Amino acid sequence: MKEILLLKDGEIVLKGLNRRQFEDVLKKNIRTALYSLGRFEITSAQSTICVRPLSEDVDLDEACERVGRVFGIVSYSRAVLCEEKTMDAVIAAAPVYLEKQLRAAKTFKVEAKRSDKKFPLKSPEICRELGGVILHEYPHLRVDVHQPDVTVYVEIRDFGAYVHADAIRGAGGIPVGTGGKAAVLISGGIDSPVAAYMMAKRGLRLTAVHFASPPYTSRRAEEKVVRLLQKVSRYAGPMTMITVPFTALQEKLRDDCPEELFTIIMRRLMMQMTERIAHDYDCAALITGESLGQVASQTIGALNCTDDAADMVVFRPLIGMDKQEIIDIAYKIDTYETSIEPYEDCCTVFTPKHPRTKPILKFVREAQERAGFEPLIEEALQNLKITQITPEY
Ligand code: ATP
Ligand code: MG
């Protein structure tokens, strides 16, 4: 039996004139996600994208998993392509292909869609005929048109007739890359990978920026960030990771700034430097994993001081979320277990005992200016490390 995947577009249906462009990006993202699984033909018609394996040995279970993480797809189904576009072929295929579901069910109904108007039977006739055959082959079943356990879908399209059961919910969102590019500040914590995932879902292509302070932070801490990004990239697609050498800046911070302002000035330096990198990488926004009130550097006052450091718009998708809500998403995208591995982050180096929760912007700016970070900023930006991230399945 020849199986195919049928994917329904999501919000891109709303985009009118841009629709073609959106669909092209979506198809490209699907192709990238499936690349290592074999060859596929990917076509689209009538808000359905059809994915047809071109080789025999394709792992279709894995293909479904991957397609389920591509943003822009509302739902998908695994369907059987009937031998021919005839009622006999539909009747031969459906009861066999859906045997498992039909045996487990008590009630069912058939729903037919006939977009090829040349097909000799009309939709109600298709339902009646196939329904009769299924009842005959599975006598334990009853028809229930309102709340059936299983719906058998028959679709007669231009390129063929196919049969499938209920669709599976897709990842939703907007195809990655259709909304532009953004730089995400990524730590090894729980929050920033979730923030990255959420903004990729809104169509942004990501560049990840990570600040490392060796020897205070270890090689393994950085590897942990790579592993987190490999997980995120199953949704966000391949991305570039940029590691910024932050040690000299943090040492200067320790030596030349008031202790209670360490964290806030560090956050400002991160934003400033990420903004510079963002310009070089064509990114038009910054993303952080900050959540209001979670720690001293995430109060309104502190966030105002952080925001002041960069001109670009800053997206903080977790700002109104509870920790548990964030953790639930981290579980869903499978980053949680990696995030809680106990390696130090540069944020935990030289943390003040009593950080200011209501910093005054004027004093923060003055303290930062007095210390004079510019030469060290330039030097760090000359020594960025670039790593290409691809999904880890
Ligand atoms: P996370 O779980 O993402 O580490 P957090 O709740 O621990 O967040 P902070 O450590 O204060 O909060 O960091 C706030 C945000 O600053 C992070 O979500 C991330 O976007 C950014 N950030 C923190 N540390 C780094 C780092 N080493 N490199 C790049 N960005 C960082
Ligand atoms: Mg952190």
Burial class (CB in 10 A: 0-12, 13-18, 19+), 347: buried
47-85 burial, b if ≥16 CB within 10 A, otherwise e? Answer: ebbbbbbeeeebebeebeebbbbbbbbbbbbbbbbbeeb
- DSSP SS3 for 12: helix
Domains in the chain, please, with CATH? Answer: 2-169 (3.30.2130.30), 181-389 (3.40.50.620)
Query: What's the 34 CA to ligand 1 centre distance in angstroms?
Result: 32
Q: Is the pLDDT of residue 296 over 80?
A: no
From ligand 1's centre to the CA of 264, what distance in Å? 12
Which one of the ligands is nearest to 302 CA?
1
Alpha carbons 140 and 376: distance in angstroms, whole number: 76
The percent of residues in the chain predicted with pLDDT above 70, rounded, is: 98
Q: What separation in Å is there between the alpha carbon of 288 and the centre of ligand 1?
A: 7
From the list 316, 318, 305, the residue with the least C-alpha distance to 268 is: 305
**Residues 92/83, Cβ–Cβ less than 8 Å:** yes
Q: What is the mean pLDDT of residues 205-229?
A: 96
- Atom from ligand 1 closest to the CA of residue 194: 3
Comparing 353 with 166, the larger pLDDT belongs to: 166
CA 361 to chain centre: 35
pLDDT of residue 195: 98
Ligand 1 atom closest to 213 (CA): 27
Q: Is the pLDDT of residue 328 over 90?
A: yes
Q: How far is the CA of 48 from the centre of ligand 1 (A)?
A: 39
Which residue CA neighbors atom 4 of ligand 1 most closely?
A: 189
The DSSP call for residue 146 is S
Query: What tens digit of pLDDT does each residue of 149-176 get?
Result: 999 999 998 878 999 999 999 999 999 9
Looking at ligand 1, which atom is closest to the CA of residue 209?
29
> What is the structure's pLDDT at 16?
60
- Which ligand number lies closest to the CA of residue 246? 1
φ/ψ of residue 201, rounded to 5: -60, -25
Kindly report, residue by residue over 108-147, the tens digit of the pLDDT: 999 999 988 999 999 999 999 999 999 999 999 999 999 9
Distance 119 CA to ligand 1 centre (A): 58
Helix (H, G, I), strand (E, B), or coil: what is residue 101? helix
Q: Kindly list the protein residues whose Cβ atom lies closer than 6 A to any atom of ligand 1.
A: 185-187, 189-192, 209-211, 270, 288-290, 294-295, 297, 345-347
